[in-house]
Amino acid sequence: MPTTDILLIVFIALAAVALLGQWIALLVMSRKVGALADRIAPLLPQVEASARMLPPLVLEVQAMVVETRPKLQAVAANVAEITVLARDQVRRADALATDLGERLELQMVRVDEALTTALANFEQISTTFRQTVLRPVQDVNAIVQGVRTGLDFFFRHRPSPALAPRAVYQDEEMFI
């Protein structure tokens, strides 16, 4: 027998085995589908009842959607308008806060300048007061004190109490 005949017999045998395997697989699948059909059969009336209730439910949902669509559109438009208004108000508040901050800073600079000027003027006035009023008063006071001491010395022939040494008990007072 030639090799081609042997190969042909082998391939035919392989094809027969493959067909037998497919037939067995189909038989197993057929039994599984039958068992599944047996398990699904009690559920079919419930599915059919649910399917019968589905069209009215779909109609109700469609009616609800038709009824709520304009309201939802109005709500969406209102939300968009509120968002625009809120953004504008925030921008205005920001501009107001910025302007207020700038004005406050300017006023603080002005107050600082005014205080600096007032303090400089006060210092100048106090210096001028010391030079024009207090110094002559001190000079006059010194002259009066000198005249008083001189007259005291001249009329009493003893030194002024301000110039005289204090009594011995002065040292004792320091320890008390």
Classify residue 119: in a domain, yes or no.
yes
Task: Dump pLDDT digits (tens) for 38-93.
Answer: 998 888 888 888 888 888 888 888 889 889 999 999 999 999 999 999 999 999 99
Instruction: Write down the pLDDT at residue 44.
Output: 87
The residue among 166, 135, 142, 137 whose CA lies nearest residue 150 is: 142
Tokens 């002559």: give the residue: 136
Classify residue 172: in a domain, yes or no.
no
Classify residue 125: in a domain, yes or no.
yes
Mean pLDDT throughout 117-141? 87
Classify residue 139: in a domain, yes or no.
yes
CB 149 within 8 A of CB 160: yes
Please list, in sequence order, all residues whose beta carbon lies within 8 angstroms of the beta carbon of residue 158, skipping any fewer than 6 positions away. 152, 164
Residue type, 45: P
Classify residue 167: in a domain, yes or no.
no
Question: Could you tell me the residue range of the domain that residue 99 belongs to?
Answer: 8-159
CB 162 within 8 A of CB 149: yes
Residue type, 97: A
Task: Dump pLDDT digits (tens) for 27-40.
Answer: 999 999 999 999 98
Please list, in sequence order, all residues whose beta carbon lies within 8 angstroms of the beta carbon of residue 164, skipping any fewer than 6 positions away. 158
In total, the chain counts a number of residues equal to 176
Residue 158 has pLDDT above 90, yes or no: no
Residue 101 has pLDDT above 70, yes or no: yes
Classify residue 171: in a domain, yes or no.
no
Tell me the pLDDT band of 164, cut-offs 50, 70 and 90: low
Instruction: Write down the pLDDT at residue 137.
Output: 83
Mean pLDDT over the full length of the chain: 86
Which stretches of the chain are assigned E, i.e. beta strand?
none
**Domain total of the chain:** 1
Classify residue 164: in a domain, yes or no.
no
What is the rounded distance in angstroms from the CA atom of residue 65 to the CA atom of residue 82? 24
Task: Dump pLDDT digits (tens) for 12-26.
Answer: 999 999 999 999 999
SS3 100: helix
Classify residue 132: in a domain, yes or no.
yes
